[in-house]
A and B are shown apart, each in its own frame.
Chain A
């Protein structure tokens, strides 16, 4: 969709990158997009609040689209998780706009991200289900329960890795084979053959 809606979102994102979430106004977005205020309101009747929410949702979704593109060719569950965790963490750390907003306006951004993450747990879980079926589960583990657990753990490690260094492939391999998969699947191959 390359219509006015997309143009407005991109313009708003440019404003947020410059001024932050709180200071971006409908006027700023309209000027940046080269459209009138009335046009912006036609696409976002809720005005500034709706616009800001839409930009956060759009960028959030974009992040997971890229993550999906990174991992969907993987041939095993371990590979999906290893590539996904490394890529996702790197993308977050290198995301300048996200880091700037987190630094200056965490109280504005965090509740919006929490709303998004509730949806994302379901999306990630749905993506993992076929891989779990393919790999086979440990006795007594139900597939949707396992997918939900993995999805929320993945979101947690990406956002706050704690003592894990996700830039280190060896640590990522260990994390995947212990806290993520050890209980979920029955058998695992060694990380390094």
Chain B
């Protein structure tokens, strides 16, 4: 897990419902809070502190106050102190991020949809993550140092390993791995280096990117030398099983591998 540690900061999510469970809505916030294990309260308290003041300035006293427990209680739950809390925050946020990704990708009905759902969800989780956004604005070093060169290769490998099975319904495994890595690369690129007017939190914009650039690339991956022949495209259209969102230029890949 060590190589995942800082990665979590990149992909985490502040929403709690996935961890708290479905029954949470029926209870008052106060009672929910007291019902949570100390560990979870401390982790969420640390997240709130980071969202407000960053990692460097956050002390264990701040975390204890936010979690409404004593400093001694924090130490009992995390004998390793601040470092241990931060590692738990990272692991928690990674798991929340991938849980959310699994939910959105698992419900998709075709290849185009699974790509759009996964990329939009990932971009949205990162963009709406208050702690992560604070870090990117004021303490970017630990986050950005994960997002280039060999460390980004590791991030790509982890993301790819997790998302590849979700593409397996439409693509065989080597194709799934390539496409999963490619989609992760695209999302990271727009998040680290935003383009004027392009927002991957907008599913419509992601769909346009997927239709214009990704689906033709997937078709080309299947051809010798990456060249798409028009005859092949016609064959794909004939065999297409679904075309909910498709226009004539994108319908060929959808359902092709079904």
Binding site for B on A (CB under 8 A): 102, 106-111, 113-114, 117-118, 121, 138-141, 145, 148-149, 152-153, 155-157, 159-163, 173-174, 176-180, 182-184, 188-192
Partner of B156, one of A106, A121, A162: A162
**Assembly CA distance A189 to B195 (angstroms):** 30
Tell whether A110 pairs with B178 under 8 Å between CB atoms, given A149-B213, A179-B217, A182-B220.
no
Chain B: number of interface residues, binned into ranges:
35 or more
Leading 3 A-B pairs by shortest Cβ distance: A177-B226, A182-B220, A183-B216
| B83, CB-defined interface residue at 8 Å | no
In this complex, the member of A162, A173, A176, A180 whose beta carbon has the largest number of chain B beta carbons within 10 angstroms is A162
Q: Are B226 and A110 in contact (CB under 8 A)?
A: no
List residues of chain B with CB within 8 A of the CB of A114: 140, 144, 147-148, 192-193
Contacts of A191 in B (CB 8 A): 225-227
Task: Mark contacts of B174-191 with chain A using CB atoms, 8 A cut-off: 1 yes-contact digit, 0 otherwise.
Answer: 000110011001101110
- The 8 A CB mask of B218-238 against A (1 = contact, 0 = none) is 111100111110000000000
Given contacts A117-B193, A159-B152, contact A111 B217 (CB under 8 A): no
A99 to chain B, nearest CB (A): 9
Q: List 26 A-B contacts (CB under 8 A).
A: A110-B145, A111-B141, A114-B140, A114-B144, A114-B192, A118-B193, A138-B216, A145-B212, A148-B198, A155-B193, A159-B152, A160-B152, A160-B185, A162-B156, A162-B157, A163-B160, A173-B225, A174-B221, A177-B225, A178-B221, A179-B178, A182-B213, A183-B215, A183-B216, A184-B213, A190-B224
Q: A113-B148, A159-B148 are in contact. Are A177 and B189 (CB under 8 A)?
A: no
Whether the pair B141, A110 counts as a contact (CB closer than 8 A) is yes
SS class of chain B's interface: helix, strand, loop or mixed?
A: helix
Contact yes or no, B149 A159, CB < 8 A: yes
| Inter-chain contact A121/B216, CB cutoff 8 Å | no
Instruction: List chain A residues, Cβ under 8 A from B185.
Output: 153, 156-157, 160, 162
A183 contacts which chain B residues (CB < 8 A)?
A: 212-217
Min CB–CB distance B164 → chain A (angstroms): 11
Chain A residue, CB-CB nearest to B182: A179
With A156-B188, A182-B216 as known contacts, state yes or no: A140 contacts B226, CB within 8 Å. Answer: no
Contact between B189 and A153 (Cβ–Cβ < 8 Å)? Answer: yes
**B residues less than 8 Å from A173 (CB atoms):** 225-226
Q: Does B28 contact A (CB under 8 A)?
A: no
In the complex, A69→B174 CA distance in Å?
36
* Most-contacted residue by chain A among B160, B178, B188, B212 (CB, 10 A): B212
Pair B153/A161 contact, Cβ less than 8 Å: yes
Known: A162-B181, A183-B217. A155 touches B145 (CB 8 A): no
- Taking the closest CB of chain A, its distance from the CB of B7, in whole angstroms, is 13
Q: Which of B151, B153, B186, B193 contacts A121 (CB 8 A)?
A: B193
Question: A102 → chain B, closest Cβ, in Å?
Answer: 6
Report Cα–Cα, A13/B40, bound state, in Å. Answer: 48
Bitwise, B149-168 to A at CB < 8 A (1) or not (0) is: 11111001100100000000
Chain B positions within 8 Å of A153 at CB level? 185-186, 189
Q: Is the CB of B226 within 8 A of A178?
A: yes
* B144, B157, B215 interface centre (most CB from chain A within 10 Å): B144
What's the Cα separation between A159 and B227 when bound, in Å?
26
* A192 and B189 form a contact (CB under 8 A): no
Which residues in B have their C-beta under 8 angstroms from that of A152? 189-190, 193, 195
- Is B216's CB under 8 angstroms from A110's CB? no
Please name the residue on chain B nearest to A106 by beta carbon: B145
Beta-carbon nearest neighbor of B189 in chain A: A152
B142 at the interface (CB under 8 A from A): yes
A-chain residues with CB within 8 Å of residue B227 when the two chains form the complex: 177, 188-191
A149→B182 CA distance, assembly (Å): 13
* A149 closest partner in B (C-beta): B213
- Greatest chain A CB density within 10 A among B186, B218, B220, B226 is at B226
